[in-house]
Amino acid sequence: MENLSPGKISSAFIKALEKGLVRKEDSAVIFYDLTFLTERLSYLKSCFPSGTLHGLAVKACPLASVMKLTKELGFGVEAASMGEVKLALHLGFKPEMIVYDSPAKTIEELEFALHQGIRLNLDNFSELERVKNEIAKQRKSERAEKRKIERALGQAEMNIPLNSAIRANKSSIGIRINPQIGEGSIQESSVAGEYSKFGVPLRFKKQELINAFMENDFLAGMHLHVGSQGCSLEMLAEGTGRLYDLMLEINSMTLANKGVEQITTFDIGGGLPVSYFSSKKPVEMQDYVKALIHRAPTLFSGRGNETSSKIRLVTEFGRWIYTNPGFTVSRVEYVKHDPGINTAMIHVGADLFVRECLNTRDWLHEYSLLDSRGNLRTGASANLWNLAGPLCFSGDILAKGVSLPEVQEGDHIVIHDTGGYTFSMWSRYNSRFAPRILGYFNEGESFVVLKEREGMEDIIRFWT
Ligand SMILES: Cc1ncc(COP(=O)(O)O)c(C=O)c1O
Lowest mean pLDDT among 151-160, 302-311, 320-329, 393-402: 302-311
Shortest CA distance to 191 belongs to which of 105, 123, 291, 137?
123
pLDDT for residue 163: 53
pLDDT for residue 149: 85
60 lines ligand 1 (CB under 6 A): yes
Whether the predicted pLDDT of 118 surpasses 60: yes
Average pLDDT over residues 91-106: 97
Q: For residues 380 and 402, what is the distance between their CA atoms, to the nearest angstrom?
A: 10
**Which residues 6+ apart lie within 8 Å of 360 measured at CB?**
397, 399, 400
- DSSP H helices in 48-104: 64-72, 82-90
At 5, the amino acid letter reads S
Give me ligand 1 centre to Cα 191, in Å: 10
270 lines ligand 1 (CB under 6 A): yes
Residue pair 267/315 in contact (Cβ under 8 Å)? The answer is yes
Whether the predicted pLDDT of 307 surpasses 80: no
pLDDT band with cut points at 50, 70 and 90 for residue 302: low
Report DSSP state, residue 63. -
317 lines ligand 1 (CB under 6 A): yes
- Please give the number of the atom of ligand 1 that sits closest to the Cα of 317: 11
Whether the predicted pLDDT of 171 surpasses 50: yes
Give me ligand 1 centre to Cα 67, in Å: 16
pLDDT for residue 158: 61
Which residue has a Cα nearest atom 1 of ligand 1? 225
pLDDT band with cut points at 50, 70 and 90 for residue 153: confident
Q: For residues 447 and 445, what is the distance between their CA atoms, to the nearest angstrom?
A: 7
- DSSP H helices in 371-439: none
**Which residues 6+ apart lie within 8 Å of 371 measured at CB?**
377, 408, 410, 411, 412
Mean residue pLDDT of the chain comes to 93
Give me ligand 1 centre to Cα 326, in Å: 18
pLDDT for residue 156: 65
Residue 352 vs residues 37, 391, 421: alpha-carbon distances, Å: 21, 11, 9
57 lines ligand 1 (CB under 6 A): yes
Q: For residues 423 and 61, what is the distance between their CA atoms, to the nearest angstrom?
A: 7
178 lines ligand 1 (CB under 6 A): no
Average pLDDT over residues 292-307: 73
Lowest mean pLDDT among 23-27, 125-129, 183-187, 250-254: 183-187
Give me ligand 1 centre to Cα 457, in Å: 32
Q: Give, for 159, the enclosing helix (H) or strand (E).
A: none
pLDDT for residue 1: 61
**Diameter of the chain measured on Cα atoms:** 92
pTM of the model: 0.94
Pairing relation of β-strands 412-415 and 367-370? antiparallel
Q: For the chain, where do the domains classified as CATH 2.40.37.10 start and end? A: 6-32+324-463
**Three-state SS letters, 270-337:** CCCCCCCCCCCCCCCHHHHHHHHHHHCHHHHCCCCCHHHCCCEEEECCCHHHHCCCEEEEEEEEEEEE
CATH superfamily of 6-32+324-463: Lyase, Ornithine Decarboxylase; Chain A, domain 1 (2.40.37.10)
pLDDT digits (tens, 9 = 90+) for 215-239: 999 999 999 999 888 889 999 999 9
Q: For the chain, where do the domains classified as CATH 3.20.20.10 start and end? A: 62-317
Assign domain 62-317 to a CATH class: alpha beta
pLDDT for residue 310: 79
pLDDT for residue 304: 40
Which residue has a Cα nearest atom 13 of ligand 1? 228
Give me ligand 1 centre to Cα 377, in Å: 36
Q: Which of 59, 70, 183 to mutate to test the pocket of ligand 1 (most atoms within 8 A of CB)?
A: 59
pLDDT digits (tens, 9 = 90+) for 38-66: 999 999 999 999 999 999 999 999 999 99
Shortest CA distance to 381 belongs to which of 328, 432, 335, 440?
335
Average pLDDT over residues 261-287: 94
- Please give the number of the atom of ligand 1 that sits closest to the Cα of 60: 9
Average pLDDT over residues 412-417: 98
